A and B are shown apart, each in its own frame.
Chain A
């Protein structure tokens, strides 16, 4: 078996036990990248030399009997929305195309401390705004399962990198589904942790109250391993949660133990609007849980219909403020010949921000404007509270809620680019977890008639990732969807 088909845990153990060297693993990863990256386009930047140097260092330390970290020698890709003190941090935008961050994001620092080998930074929708990675100003990424289709987004590059066997695990960020939906489209596992579980320091902000960093992997256990590395309080992020209040467990501990007396909640009519293949896959998944002894219960989610509207007000409002700093004055792209300082702003932004980013800045600016604030932003916050309340109530009756990740499988490149509303409606199943701040996971649960992956979404209460992973693992252990490979890697 090629090392590229091993999981992160398998690789880590093999390297630690000196059955294989990290250098070989990394070389093989780059061989795969060399072979398929021209088609897939997962990366914005690659760190071949640095990665090999790190792999050599890990091999040397293991040979010397020195202690190494939890990801020692394992190739990892990171979304280009995470600041790195090496290479560029572009966020898929022209305005940051040549931006070198002077510091590492906390999640990056933790990966490096765990001796992970960062192979490259992955493509994404500009500033994480999008559901197909088509909004990247710098690269085109395709779905490894079908090169005429999108990988999903906004973390499409990370999902595609894992699906294409460039690396076993990757980091993405999820503001409204940007980890779970591309995981679903690319047939891999994607986890959005609870808001506050992973430090956002160094994650370039889109919607600050919704953004959360999370892992991709090909197995639930690999996602758990990655969460082990990146979770925890960070004094540099006031919104990261105090570990004395919410301790960080070992997420791999007991991951294979089924949850006894499991109650799976489903909202009535939850799959209305989803494609029939998606509905069928979710129904089949519920049967898998039933067979594992779970009880399926109906839960009311009366305010879910308003989630998209609330999300696109809150996220864009925050984005309009978060993205104000890209102004051509301090760093990033500056228009070449401004007449005055106002033109430094207006032309730099006009020339270097994409259509979707501008659209969301406009929406958000409008929502925060005096006279509209109460009608839009404040109302959206109230809806958000109601949705939180829906989940709290629902979780009194069940341990986890199951629904599709997306109403469709991967759509064709260009299919929705001119219809932003249609694109937004694709976020219907993922957005509510961000609004409520709860964790959610996408696990491969089927292939549609076009052999495109379908994702099963599981949601649990805040800070219950350990249970969430166990529940997801129950499904994974009973099925083999996670072992299916795209044709191009077979």
Chain B
């Protein structure tokens, strides 16, 4: 994206490193359950505590989840991969090395499609996808000591590194949101930002063009962002800060002047953490405690069979195929249970727009109230399709249908019996309605005159008469049929 300020223009360049916590039953290399909010150091064992003599054993489910995500990100899957030790000393890292993947990541050279502001899509290249174990947490509560909670140590993390293909804070956010949607769709992560399931580290710099030449600002990595808002804002802040810094100092990108900054969520500024990129030597080497992983064709085929249509593709298809608005399609595809439900209702003969309205206006609202996704309502997609058909057939009004859907969620009864029970069946019997129309016309001569005169009041009077008929039938008259009778009688 080019921005101009009189004689200077610049382009924003962002690459993103994302850590996604996988929702496996157990940790990456031991049998401990994953943990959130438990009492410190209660979800631990000799392996994740890094005790002497303990050995890691690979969690196959984590590898399958990682492979599934790598496939969804269109990566080349490594036929042979291994585990490497990454050495550094930190109190939250019990072995003082992290088991990760160095030169043979599970996936590489992929891409992700993200929606852009103009309603199109953009392809961002994925450099690599690999699996590693998380560290614990250092707690600095009080006193001149720190405490370490190792409940999180050993949790499987998927690390995804993109190429620097994003050109605006909004694009970075779009990628993050899209990735969240993908991992949730695949069922490999809960993607819960509040629980730290997704952590972002953008690398940001600017390509500046001035009459005296082209310049690149030093790359800044912003560490450990765990909300979309912080991600977007920190990049926006960095763009301005780097521009100002360049104009003031003229310092450009050089070997070794990449710096690391943290995000202050309160003041909404980035804060310098490490001036120069330290010459980290992680002394990677293959972990001799773990055997290499061969991803055989049969295993990969089995995993590939769990792939599904990705949310963005689904959204685009809903617009093209069903004529839904982009907004509605977005709402329907935001969560996989909604989209899957929607498609099952369509398969049962529901009209797309009608089903969409029922789900977006009532279904999702109810689900949110219950704190779950659509599947928590226990609705049968076939019954919802039946309800949509009743609206289309004029058996019930659209408004009545919403009431019926709520009742279906509450009682589990079929829409037809609920319509009767709740007295919501519309009268479409022309004979019966004709009598009522005659009665209304007789009682409202002025309005009839206004319609017939074709005056300015004509439209309003016609609506008034329709309303009177509906009222007399206690709302059960089919407005379409009544309109037709009125039309005929008033000409």
Given the complex, which residues of A lie within 8 Å of B89, measured CB to CB? Answer: 324, 327, 345
User: Considering the chains assembled together, what is the distance between the CA atoms of A327 and B52 in angstroms?
Assistant: 12
Of residues 94 through 128 on chain B, the ones whose CB sits less than 8 Å from some CB of chain A are 94-97
Interface 9-residue window, one of B261-269, B280-288, B345-353? B280-288
Given the complex, which residues of B lie within 8 Å of A96, measured CB to CB? Answer: 52
Q: How large is the interface on A (under 10, 10 to 19, 20 to 34, 35 or more residues)?
A: 35 or more
Check: A101 CB closer than 8 A to any chain B CB: yes
Given the complex, which residues of A lie within 8 Å of B281, measured CB to CB? Answer: 369-370
Q: Contacts A101-B51, A238-B291, A321-B85 known; A373 to B57 CB distance under 8 Å?
A: no
Nearest CB in chain A to that of B52: its residue: A204
Nearest CB in chain A to that of B282: its residue: A370
Of residues 254 through 283 on chain B, the ones whose CB sits less than 8 Å from some CB of chain A are 281, 283
8 Å CB contact of A202 from B53, B56, B148:
B53
Q: Contacts A209-B288, A368-B285, A377-B285 known; A325 to B87 CB distance under 8 Å?
A: no
Chain B 24-54, CB within 8 Å of chain A: the 1/0 string?
0000000000000000000000100111111
Given the complex, which residues of B lie within 8 Å of A235, measured CB to CB? Answer: 57
User: Considering the chains assembled together, what is the distance between the CA atoms of A317 and B87 in angstroms?
Assistant: 12
A64 CB to closest chain B CB, in angstroms? 35
User: Considering the chains assembled together, what is the distance between the CA atoms of A3 and B217 in angstroms?
Assistant: 82
Check: B289 CB closer than 8 A to any chain A CB: yes
Chain A 199-243, CB within 8 Å of chain B: the 1/0 string?
011111101110000000000000000000000000111110000
B453 CB to closest chain A CB, in angstroms? 91
Of residues 315 through 333 on chain A, the ones whose CB sits less than 8 Å from some CB of chain B are 317-318, 320-321, 324-325, 327, 329-331
Check: A83 CB closer than 8 A to any chain B CB: yes
Q: Contacts A203-B53, A238-B58, A341-B91 known; A102 to B46 CB distance under 8 Å?
A: yes
Nearest CB in chain B to that of A81: its residue: B53
B54 CB to closest chain A CB, in angstroms? 7
Check: A183 CB closer than 8 A to any chain B CB: no
Nearest CB in chain B to that of A201: its residue: B55
Chain A 378-412, CB within 8 Å of chain B: the 1/0 string?
00000000000000000000000000000000000
B87-A330 in contact (CB<8A): no
Q: Which of B51, B56, B97, B283: most chain A Cβ within 10 A?
A: B283
Given the complex, which residues of A lie within 8 Å of B283, measured CB to CB? Answer: 320-321, 365, 368-370, 373
Check: A72 CB closer than 8 A to any chain B CB: no
8 Å CB contact of B53 from A101, A324, A368:
A101
Check: A445 CB closer than 8 A to any chain B CB: no
Q: How large is the interface on B (under 10, 10 to 19, 20 to 34, 35 or more residues)?
A: 20 to 34
Given the complex, which residues of A lie within 8 Å of B289, measured CB to CB? Answer: 205, 208, 238-239
Given the complex, which residues of B lie within 8 Å of A318, measured CB to CB? Answer: 288
Given the complex, which residues of A lie within 8 Å of B49, measured CB to CB? Answer: 330
A200-B97 in contact (CB<8A): no
Given the complex, which residues of B lie within 8 Å of A324, measured CB to CB? Answer: 87, 89, 95-97
Check: B290 CB closer than 8 A to any chain A CB: yes
B94 CB to closest chain A CB, in angstroms? 6
Nearest CB in chain A to that of B56: its residue: A238
Nearest CB in chain B to that of A366: its residue: B283
User: Considering the chains assembled together, what is the distance between the CA atoms of A95 and B355 in angstroms?
Assistant: 68
Given the complex, which residues of A lie within 8 Å of B95, measured CB to CB? Answer: 324-325
8 Å CB contact of A91 from B52, B58, B146:
B52
Of residues 160 through 181 on chain A, the ones whose CB sits less than 8 Å from some CB of chain B are none
Chain B 455-477, CB within 8 Å of chain A: the 1/0 string?
00000000000000000000000
Check: A154 CB closer than 8 A to any chain B CB: no
B53-A208 in contact (CB<8A): no
Q: Contacts A330-B49, A377-B285 known; A325 to B55 CB distance under 8 Å?
A: no
Nearest CB in chain B to that of A324: its residue: B96
B57-A236 in contact (CB<8A): yes
User: Considering the chains assembled together, what is the distance between the CA atoms of A330 and B148 in angstroms?
Assistant: 9
Of residues 186 through 231 on chain B, the ones whose CB sits less than 8 Å from some CB of chain A are none
Given the complex, which residues of B lie within 8 Å of A236, measured CB to CB? Answer: 55, 57
A175 CB to closest chain B CB, in angstroms? 12
Q: Contacts A324-B95, A329-B91 known; A373 to B53 CB distance under 8 Å?
A: no
Q: Which of A89, A96, A201: most chain B Cβ within 10 A?
A: A201
B97-A238 in contact (CB<8A): no
Chain A 87-112, CB within 8 Å of chain B: the 1/0 string?
00101000010010111010000000
A83-B53 in contact (CB<8A): yes
User: Considering the chains assembled together, what is the distance between the CA atoms of A154 and B176 in angstroms?
Assistant: 54
B105 CB to closest chain A CB, in angstroms? 18
B51-A321 in contact (CB<8A): no
User: Considering the chains assembled together, what is the distance between the CA atoms of A91 and B53 in angstroms?
Assistant: 11
Chain A 24-48, CB within 8 Å of chain B: the 1/0 string?
0000000000000000000000000
Given the complex, which residues of B lie within 8 Å of A105, measured CB to CB? Answer: 53
User: Considering the chains assembled together, what is the distance between the CA atoms of A204 and B55 in angstroms?
Assistant: 10
Chain B 45-82, CB within 8 Å of chain A: the 1/0 string?
01001111111111000000000000000000000000
Of residues 100 through 138 on chain A, the ones whose CB sits less than 8 Å from some CB of chain B are 101-103, 105
User: Considering the chains assembled together, what is the distance between the CA atoms of A209 and B291 in angstroms?
Assistant: 11
A2 CB to closest chain B CB, in angstroms? 35
A211 CB to closest chain B CB, in angstroms? 9
B32 CB to closest chain A CB, in angstroms? 14
B96-A238 in contact (CB<8A): no
Nearest CB in chain B to that of A332: its residue: B52
Given the complex, which residues of A lie within 8 Å of B97, measured CB to CB? Answer: 321, 324
Chain A 328-368, CB within 8 Å of chain B: the 1/0 string?
01110000000001001100000000000000000001001
Q: 4 smallest A-B Cβ distances: which pairs? A: A324-B96, A209-B288, A208-B288, A368-B283
Q: What would 14 more interface pairs be, CB under 8 Å, given A83-B53, A327-B96?
A: A91-B52, A101-B51, A103-B54, A105-B53, A201-B53, A202-B54, A205-B52, A236-B55, A238-B290, A239-B289, A239-B290, A317-B285, A345-B89, A368-B87
9 contacts between A and B (CB under 8 A): A99-B52, A101-B53, A102-B51, A324-B97, A325-B96, A327-B89, A341-B146, A368-B285, A370-B281
